[in-house]
Structures are given as C-alpha cells and as structure tokens.
Amino acid sequence: MTVRVRARPAGRRGVPGLPRTGRRALLALLVGGLSSGGNLLLAVTVTRLESIGGVGQFALAFSFYVLGSGLVRSVVTDSTLAAGTGAAPAARRAVLLGTVSGLALGAAGIAYGSSYLVCAGLALPGLVLYDYTKAIAVGLGAPAGALAQEAAWAAVTGCAALAGLFRLLDAPYVFALWAGGGGFIGVVVAIRRRYMVRPGWRVGRAETRVAVGFGAQFLLTTGSAQLALTALTAFAGTAVVGALSAGRTLLGPVNLVLSTAATLILPHLARSRAESRAVRTRVAVRLTALVAAGVLPMTAAVALLPDAVGTVLLGANWDLARSLLVLLALESLFAVPAAVGFAGLRVEQASRRAILLGVLLGGLRVPVVVVAAVLFGATGAAGALAALALVSAVAWAGSYLLLLRHRATHRAPAHRRLDPVPRGG
C-alpha cells in the first residue's frame, strides 16, 4: 500500500517559512509524549529495582535498540519520508536490517550472559518495524494511527512497570514485556496496513549507495557512542555507565521528543529544496529555534530537579546521577542544531560529506569520553559528552549551511549565462 501524501492547496506555493504545525504536528507531539512517558516509566522502574551494575546492562541493551532503530531510520525511513511514497515495499528493508541486527545482538547477549541483550535481540525485528510504521504515520500518513499504537504499547509498559514496582516481577522480566510488547504491536500494525513484512532488499543501485552511505554515517556517529559506552564499561567500570544511565533516564523524554521532531524536520526541509539559499537557510534556522524552544524548558526542569523528586524517581541511584544532570541536559540541548544539520545533508543527498564528518566526530568520541571517565569519573565523562555535543552541533549545522552556499554560488553562473545579452550603446 502506498501512503498518500496531502498536496498543498493551490495558491499556497509561496516561500516556505515557519513550519505549519496544525493537527499533524499536535498529534506528533502527543505520540512523542506517550513514547517518552512509556520509556521513562520503564527506565525508572529498572533503575529502582536494579543495582548500579544492572542499570548499566539495561542501558547497554536499550542503547542497542536505539542503535538498531536509528539505523533503520537512517537507511530506510528517512528516504521514504523524503520521497513521500513507497512505504509498503520499504518495510521489507526495515525488517531485514532489524533481523540481522537482532541475531547479532542476541548472540552477543548469550556470550555475555546478559538477559537484557538477549531479550532486545529477539524483539529487535518487531521493534524496528514498530518505529518504522510510527514514523511513516506521523510524517506522511495518519498520525492518529501512530497515536493508537503508541497508546497500546504504553499500556503494556505501564502494566509491566506496575508489576515490577509492586515486586511481582524482576527488572529483566519488566524489560522483556516492554520489548516483546512493542515488537508484537509493530508486526500487527504493519500487517494491518498491508506492509510487506518478509525481509528483503529490492531497490536500485543508486538508492542503495545513498542508503549505505547514510547508514555508514549513522554507525560512525551513533555507533561511536555505543562503542564509547562499551569502552566505558571495560575501562571505567559499570559504576560510571550506571551513573550516566541513571542521569539520562530523567532526560529520556527530551531525547524522544527530539527523535519525534526529526520525523517532521526532514519533510519540511525537503519541501524547501527548490527554493533559494536564503529561504532554505531561514527554514533551517526557524526549525532549529522552534525545536529548541520546545526542548529548553524540559532540559531546564530536569537540570533543576529537587532532591525529593529525584529520590522518588531513581531511589538510591539519585545521588550518583544528581551531579551529572546539568552537563547531560546541555548535551541534549546541543543535539537540536545537529539534528537539523544532519537532516539537511540527508535532503541534499550529501552522503560523502556526511560520512567524512561522521568519521571525524566519531573518531573523537571514544578516546575523549573514555580518557575523561578514567581521569575524572562519571563527571568527566558527562563533561566530555556535553563538549562533544557542542562540537557536533557546530559541525553539522555549519556543514549544511556551507553546502547551501557552495551550491548557490555554482548555480548562479549558469543562470547568468541564460540571461539575454544586453544591447550595446
């Protein structure tokens, strides 16, 4: 089934400016809110039930889920959102990537003896399909459908979390219900929408090269963050990873709102692709300001969270997370211009530029974070993450703006050659 895209009414093809929020954006925010609430409830439950080492294992498994779903978004979902069609056959590529990643993650969990990793690996194909169907519904289809599926997963998560908080289930079983419930809902929704759920890869060479390029870029950037987390476990211990994870638990809603906003950012940038450089720059700046204005109050509230509330949410782990919140909040805030810049490069299909930038930034992340953690503990690691987020924001946003200027200067001479030759005096 091809998802229909609403055409803009005649007479409104003017200069793109501030994105029209309307009903779609409102429903997207509701979807993001439900998703944020469910994942926050899961993280709070596991953090309260587990030791700091168990929190580290949970964070490792959850980050691999984020890595797998992010890879599918970069390779498959973003291309579908930019094209506006082909959602049904593209689902096969999402399932293929999720299956391969899930098998690798499950094998790693068995070797490592981590029930969290095994559960995440088994559920990953369904989880990435869930994220794919939700993103398509929010960006192109019917956001109300995404809201319904998010409400169903939130209900499953709520029941599992309540069972855990009342000591009826241990933390790994709470995580298993969350992952299995999300994967099952993803498969059911895809089948009901008549998406192709058999793994496969039917796409041309040109599109494959672009997809592989952006997938490699994603792995080099977000993958380097995963590698840094694994290296932190090896060199600094699970206590540092657990402290960072406990702090990031409270910032989970912020990061999920950013992920939801990214679904809307890319189509808005794509609509302005035919406009002038000045117009496209204004669109990017306004998108950045709009998302930042929504994220800033949330990050400030987390950074200034009272001790009483923090203790209720994180239990004994609050003391470890409290000193890291300001630095981790800055990291989340700096992610806004980076997300807009990356989406802009995706719209421009500048895969080589994105890969080069991703290699440079990813090469910095692992050694800087690990060295800072070894020398200064969790506070040093959090400070390094905030500094690297600022560097990434400048790099991604600046690269997109420079690309617009470069293409504008190369386009101008061609237009001038088409102008009529002025008459001589």
Number of CB atoms found within 10 A of residue 141's CB: 20
Assess whether pLDDT exceeds 80 at residue 20.
no
Sign of CA dihedral 374, 375, 376, 380: negative
Most confident of 18-32, 152-166, 252-266: 152-166
Assess whether pLDDT exceeds 70 at residue 245.
yes
pLDDT in tens, 340-364: 998 898 888 787 888 788 888 888 8
Assess whether pLDDT exceeds 90 at residue 177.
yes
Phi–psi pair at 260, nearest 5 degrees = -65, -40
HEC secondary structure over the chain: CCCCCCCCCCCCCCCCCCCCCHHHHHHHHHHHHHHHHHHHHHHHHHHHHCCHHHHHHHHHHHHHHHHHHHHHHHHHHHHHHHHCCCHHHHHHHHHHHHHHHHHHHHHHHHHHCCHHHHHHHHHHHHHHHHHHHHHHHHHCCCHHHHHHHHHHHHHHHHHHHHHHHCCCCCHHHHHHHHHHHHHHHHHHHHHHCCCCCCCCCCCCHHHHHHHHHHHHHHHHHHHHHHHHHHHHHHHCCHHHHHHHHHHHHHCHHHHHHHHHHHHHHHHHHHHCCCCCHHHHHHHHHHHHHHHHHHHHHHHHHHHCCCHHHHHHHHHHHHHHHHCCHHHHHHHHHHHHHHHHHHHHHHHCCCHHHHHHHHHHHHHHHHHHHHHHHHHHHHHHHHHHHHHHHHHHHHHHHHHHHHHHHHHHHHHHHHHHHHCCCCCCC
Query: Would you state the pLDDT for residue 15?
Result: 36
- Four-point Cα dihedral 81, 82, 88, 90, nearest 10: -100
Query: Would you state the pLDDT for residue 419?
Result: 47
Contact 408, 358 (CB under 8 A): no
Question: In the structure, what pLDDT confidence band is assigned to residue 410 with cuts at 50, 70 and 90?
Answer: low
Question: In the structure, what pLDDT confidence band is assigned to residue 412 with cuts at 50, 70 and 90?
Answer: low
Assess whether pLDDT exceeds 80 at residue 183.
yes
Query: Would you state the pLDDT for residue 31?
Result: 85
Query: Would you state the pLDDT for residue 109?
Result: 92
Assess whether pLDDT exceeds 80 at residue 32.
no
Comparing 210-219, 290-299, 409-418, the range with the smallest average pLDDT is 409-418
Assess whether pLDDT exceeds 50 at residue 3.
no
Q: Is 410 exposed, middle or buried (0-12, 13-18, 19+ CB in 10 A)?
A: exposed
Assess whether pLDDT exceeds 90 at residue 383.
yes
Give residue 99's Cα distance to chain centre. 19
Phi–psi pair at 231, nearest 5 degrees = -65, -35
Question: In the structure, what pLDDT confidence band is assigned to residue 222 with cuts at 50, 70 and 90?
Answer: low
Question: In the structure, what pLDDT confidence band is assigned to residue 22 with cuts at 50, 70 and 90?
Answer: low
Smallest CA-to-CA distance from 65 within 155, 139, 129 is with: 129
**Arithmetic mean of pLDDT, 122-142:** 91
Query: Would you state the pLDDT for residue 17?
Result: 40
Number of CB atoms found within 10 A of residue 375's CB: 11
Rg (C-alpha) for the chain, rounded Å, is 22
Number of CB atoms found within 10 A of residue 13's CB: 10
Smallest CA-to-CA distance from 392 within 326, 330, 324, 314 is with: 330
Question: In the structure, what pLDDT confidence band is assigned to residue 418 with cuts at 50, 70 and 90?
Answer: very low
Question: In the structure, what pLDDT confidence band is assigned to residue 39 with cuts at 50, 70 and 90?
Answer: confident
Helix axis angle for 252-271 and 325-347, nearest 10°, is: 20
Smallest CA-to-CA distance from 175 within 309, 54, 321, 310 is with: 54
Task: Work out the percent of the chain whose per-residue pLDDT is above 90.
Answer: 41
Question: In the structure, what pLDDT confidence band is assigned to residue 402 with cuts at 50, 70 and 90?
Answer: very high
Domain ranges for the chain: 23-203, 204-412
Assess whether pLDDT exceeds 50 at residue 220.
yes
- What is the distance between the alpha carbons of residues 109 and 173, in angstroms, rounded to a whole number? 15
- What is the distance between the alpha carbons of residues 182 and 179, in angstroms, rounded to a whole number? 5
**Arithmetic mean of pLDDT, 73-78:** 88
Query: Would you state the pLDDT for residue 6?
Result: 43
Residues 6+ apart with CB under 8 A from 110: 118
Higher pLDDT, 117 or 84: 117
Higher pLDDT, 332 or 9: 332
Q: What is the mean pLDDT of the chain?
A: 84
Q: Is 180 exposed, middle or buried (0-12, 13-18, 19+ CB in 10 A)?
A: middle
Q: Is 12 exposed, middle or buried (0-12, 13-18, 19+ CB in 10 A)?
A: exposed
- What is the distance between the alpha carbons of residues 276 and 287, in angstroms, rounded to a whole number? 17
**Arithmetic mean of pLDDT, 236-252:** 83
Query: Would you state the pLDDT for residue 337?
Result: 94
pLDDT in tens, 90-130: 999 999 999 999 999 999 999 988 899 999 999 999 999 99
Comparing 7-16, 49-58, 281-290, the range with the smallest average pLDDT is 7-16
